[in-house]
Amino acid sequence: MTPYRIEIPEHELDDLRRRLAATRWPERETPDDWSQGVPLAYVKDVCAYWLNEYDWRRREGWLNEFPQFMTNIDGLDFHVLHIRSPHADALPMVMTHGWPGSVIEFSKVIGPLTDPGAHGGDNKDAFHLVLPTLPGFGFSGKPTAPGWSIEHIGRAWGQLMARLGYERYVAQGGDWGAAVTSAIGLSETKHCAGIHVNMPILSPSESVMQDLTDFEQDALAGHQYYWDWDSGYSKEQSTRPQTVGYGLVDSPVGQMAWILEKFWSWTDSDGHPENVLTRDELLDNIMMYWLPAAAASSARLYWESFSLIGQPQKPITMPAGASIFPHEIFRASRRWVEERYTNLVHFNILEKGGHFAAFEQPEAFVDEVRTCFRNMR
């Protein structure tokens, strides 16, 4: 394991500013809403802020406050933040982000999870945190050959935790992180004591699709809306990630709009992402794609594994928890979750929050994680 610091050369930031200033703009959308994508006026406003006011060095400095390293697993380098709790008996936990997120999503929960007493909690709930970046995302390496599926990543995280000396640990994730965490629940049964997901990966069978409750009917309607109106990105990234990458890697405004639109659609934000996240936070996350030119390489995870979504899933028998946030893409009822996560020890439907739960609602997220794993220590 090689110690690592993020030190972006100034000439790369100068290049970003040059590209922002030279943006070639399309005409505005025809309706006065977000139905055709991110409105031109908002994108121009964010672009001007990114160019003239945003400070990457602030977030870079924050990231470099934490111990981080590069480690090679199966021929690929992985960027990992490893934040040990000041409490020696803390429970090790590997947390995995998704798309279009990054480790930035966890920025507000690191302190409360590693040092609960300093944040109004009980130190008995402390965790040692391991935050790896997915292959092709952020500052991790980019695969040069097919094969980095969610199952492969799950096994890699098992190797990672062993290298860190953690014989017993738990795992958590949302979005692709939930898929990887579920894969850990299948393959790492010797050392992983339990998992928690905030977007269960499942495909309900006919046996649990009878006599649908109001919640289940609403969840299915939301699922259908996603496939009809909100999934174009996934079709492109799962079939032609290389093609979409050319434009996004070359244009910072293109990359920004591609991601911002999902933060509008998937956050519980009353119609605008900046109602729950600051502009700096949104741009901090976008920079984790722009700086390493990760648009195509991150999209390849869809090419590798998106076809598995909606297919019958292997049951997971280890202790598991699921937290369902109301503005999640795919919501699930308890009986749907129990069909796949057969040893469900924690289930809760929250009143507020969306797809980026740790980022949007950090206090609720922390409480869910603590509650889920309290009996697995």
- Catalogue all structural domains in the chain, each as residue range(s) with its CATH number: 2-376 (3.40.50.1820)
Q: Give the pLDDT of residue 148.
A: 98
Confidence check: pLDDT of 155 > 90 = yes
Confidence check: pLDDT of 217 > 90 = yes
Confidence check: pLDDT of 36 > 80 = yes
Q: Give the pLDDT of residue 375.
A: 87
Q: How many CA atoms lie within 13 A of 151 on its CB side?
A: 9
Measured distance CA(372)–CA(370) in Å, rounded: 6
Confidence check: pLDDT of 152 > 80 = yes
Which amino acid, residue 142? K
58 pLDDT tier (thresholds 50, 70, 90): very high
CA-based nearest residue to 6, from 82, 73, 72, 62: 62
Q: Give the pLDDT of residue 177.
A: 98
Is 218 catalytic? The answer is no
309 pLDDT tier (thresholds 50, 70, 90): confident
| CB atoms closer than 10 angstroms to residue 337 | 21
Phi first, then psi: give them for residue 29, nearest 5 degrees. Answer: -65, 155
Is 302 catalytic? The answer is yes
| CB atoms closer than 10 angstroms to residue 120 | 8
Catalytic option among 115, 175, 268, 284:
175
Confidence check: pLDDT of 47 > 90 = yes
Query: Mean per-residue pLDDT for 165-181?
Result: 98
Q: Give the pLDDT of residue 34.
A: 96
Measured distance CA(106)–CA(60) in Å, rounded: 15
Which amino acid, residue 37? G
Query: Mean per-residue pLDDT for 307-331?
Result: 92
Catalytic option among 152, 302, 341, 346:
302
Q: pLDDT tens, 222-249?
A: 999 999 999 999 999 999 999 999 999 9
Backbone torsion region of residue 175, taken as left when φ is above 0, otherwise alpha when ψ lies between -120 and 50, otherwise beta: left
Q: 265 has which bridge partners?
A: none
Instruction: Enter the pTM of the model.
Output: 0.97
Phi first, then psi: give them for residue 44, nearest 5 degrees. Answer: -60, -40
Q: Residue 137, SS3?
A: coil
Q: Give the pLDDT of residue 261.
A: 97
Q: Give the pLDDT of residue 80.
A: 98
Under 8 Å between Cβ of 203 and 330: no
Q: What is the mean pLDDT of the chain?
A: 97
332 pLDDT tier (thresholds 50, 70, 90): very high
Query: Mean per-residue pLDDT for 283-287?
Result: 98
Is 355 catalytic? The answer is yes
